[in-house]
Structure 1
């Protein structure tokens, strides 16, 4: 077992444990998992645009931005699969020095695309919030601005740090060959980024909740709408799992083996985010399936409809009008709600 390992790798990681199976390789299963979640994200986006076509509504900025995020996630998936080709998923003692350097070159580029994809997905969600919740409340506006700040600053921090991660920069992947240079604590940096990203996900998930519970509709319907938007909580769960594997990576010398699940969850997390971002837009498809099954095409009698009774208008009714506009926008996304209000204008 010792003689089959690259002496330079042994110098880096030491001898493999006696019970290590050097033929073990998770690259195939890793690749299958990555492709699966990538296809699910693509299907979610396709269904989102299908729903747009059914509703005959225009394509909005949040729709275009989610396409950009899909392109970025596709790039990270390609890099993750390439990493598996060079040995990510194998034990480090089963790869040679050249392959290890290639994996770290891939990892270097991966961080740029991954951080950008996370930011773009969050921006798409925030654009959706801005379009749906037509609120003039100061707290909501500040929450949105802070959400944009967190989303945009995340990749900037990553790019600046990775641009200076080592001196010289190529020491990031040549360090294993004994080149002279210095690097920051890379594993700790990745772990910190994972935690920050999860906190950002959680914050953006909570932004609309207070506004939803102030809408003019029954509590049951408000809880239903909040529940649909809170499906993004699956992203936070995926982030937590990713953090676990980043922690494992930071503790082990068998870095190539540990990179397999890190690559998987680093692709699974944004793919789940894309699916979650598309779910609120898919209700019209459910309505069509229901109508076909019940053979009541065009009938919405059993749906809760959005009804607005407006008589006149005045400044006194501005707050109610804003809340109802938010409710109507939610309805147009396929989330059917009911609100009723009356505006009265003093007759002078």
Structure 2
């Protein structure tokens, strides 16, 4: 039976009104989109130029494409779907666009997060599998699980509603899609499995790193580096917690919302949906893109910093020598200085840095 509008309540407004709309969520999404995308592109470019492009980089390509698509969609929905303004000022077309955004993220989020986790697992395989057969088995099993995660949740997203387009029809959704609790269960399960996968990626390399024959300080540094790559688990944990806490919130709902027809079919917690869903989701996906990319960029960032430091020292030394000596300094001293600098630059081998910096199975005691 259709749930029609109650004639005794206020109908959704017809005229678009953005006077009270807040744009902070859309701005947040744009900033993180730019930072994460640039970081990932730099990672891929440097890996390609240094001829160290591996399977983990190939997996990052579809992850980046899905992430960009999800971010653009999220930005558009937050800008055009009435998110960030009082619910009683949201028009019916805006509510429908809101529902379309929820369906799109149900497809794109598992794809983006899944491909990022595949990339991280392939990076672990690149680093640890040659030295540890058990680690190789665990990584292979984890890859299969992530593949099932992607296929399962993306497939299920197509059955959120029968037919699917009724999902974004607020007054028809209950008949074709069931109660809002069904969507809550699906979302909570999706977030929970995502968090479990992120925690696995966080703890998976710790045992192998601890067993390496290297100084304790360096082992701790390596663990911190890998933790950076899986920092998305922090955002995933927050997203799951805030989603559960906010869904049952009723104490801060403005009473004016209950005078609206849409209040009978739209959960009142949607007044904070930009902060409880879109920002945490963008934070998680962005961290999942940025973390592994920074790990891959680490050798190049270090090399660039060394070259920059050398150039600054060379320029500063030449300037000081010119001011202090001004013609009295022997030419041979200048030649010695530049020859020393040239030898230092020759020590750089960026083409191998990305591999040798992380192939930890080559480490031996005392070396």
TM class by shorter-chain length? 0.7 to 0.9
Q: Deviations over 1:288-338 (max 9, x none)?
A: 2123213456638999x9xxxxxxxxxxxxxxxxxxxxxxx9862645978
Task: Return closer, same or farther for 1:103/1:190 CA change in 2, 3 Å cut-off.
Answer: same
Decide whether the 8 Å contact of 2:81 with 2:94 is kept in 1. Answer: yes
Q: TM-score, normalised by structure 1?
A: 0.76
Could you tell me how far apart the structure 1 residues matched to 2:83 and 2:116 are?
26
Task: Give the aligned partner of residue 271 of structure 1.
Answer: 286
1:95 matched to 2:90: yes
CA-CA distance at 1:151 after TM superposition = 1.4
**Corresponding residue of 1:345:** none
| 8 Å Cα contact 1:87-1:256 kept in structure 2 | no
Q: How far is the alpha carbon of 1:11 from its aligned partner?
A: 7.2
Distance in 2, matches of 1:103 and 1:50, equals: 36
| Structure 2 segments unaligned to the other structure (5+ residues) | 13-17, 250-266, 312-340
Q: Does 1:257 find its partner at 2:271?
A: yes
Q: Is the 8 Å Cα contact of residues 63 and 112 (structure 2) preserved in structure 1?
A: yes
Shift of 1:230: 1.0
Q: CA deviation at 1:341?
A: 6.5
Rate the CA distance shift 1:167–1:132 in 2: closer, same or farther, 3 A: same
- Which is greater in Rg? 2
Residues 1:59 and 2:53 are matched in the alignment: yes
Deviates more, 1:141-150 or 1:330-339: 330-339
State the TM-score, normalizing by the size of structure 2. 0.72
Deviation at 1:40, TM superposition (A): 1.2
Separation (CA, whole Å) in 2 of partners of 1:193 and 1:12: 34
Is the alpha carbon distance of 1:340 and 1:289 closer, same or farther for their aligned partners in structure 2, counting shifts above 3 Å? same
1:189 aligned residue? 186
Worse-matched range after superposition: 269-278 or 174-183 = 174-183
Higher helix share: 2
RMSD: 3.4
Does residue 285 of structure 1 match 2:307?
Answer: no
Matched, 1:80 2:74: yes
- Local SS of the residue matching 1:131: helix
Take 1:269 and 1:95, find their aligned partners in 2: how far apart are those partners?
A: 28
Partner of 2:334: none
Matches of 1:12 and 1:330 in 2, distance apart? 63
| Aligned twin of 1:322 | none
Question: Quick one: which of 96, 99, 111 aligns to 1:104?
Answer: 99
Report the CA distance between 1:114 and its aligned residue: 0.9
**Is there any run of 5+ residues in structure 1 with no aligned partner, and where?**
1-5, 14-21, 306-328, 343-348
Aligned to 2:344: 299
Between the aligned partners of 2:129 and 2:209, the Cα distance in structure 1 is 11
Task: Name whichever of 118-127 and 58-67 sits farther off.
Answer: 58-67
Pick one of 243, 246, 270 that aligns with 2:243: 246
Q: Larger deviation: 290-299 or 79-88?
A: 290-299
Alignment of 1:163-178 (within 5 A): 163-177=158-172
Q: How many residues align?
A: 304
- CA drift of 1:50 comes to 4.7
State whether residues 52 and 355 of structure 2, in contact with CA within 8 Å, keep that contact through their aligned partners in structure 1.
no
Distance 2:354 2:295 in 1: 10
SS at match of 1:216: coil
* In 1, Cα distance between equivalents of 2:146 and 2:246: 25
1:96-175 aligned within 5 A: 96-135=91-130, 137-175=132-170
Q: Cα distance, 1:98 vs. partner?
A: 2.5
CA-to-aligned-CA distance 1:149-202 (integer Å, 9 cap, x gap): 331122222123222222343332224247732426112321221122011111
The 1:216–1:109 alpha-carbon spacing in structure 2 relative to 1, beyond 3 Å, is same
CA distance in 1, matches of 2:173, 2:280: 31
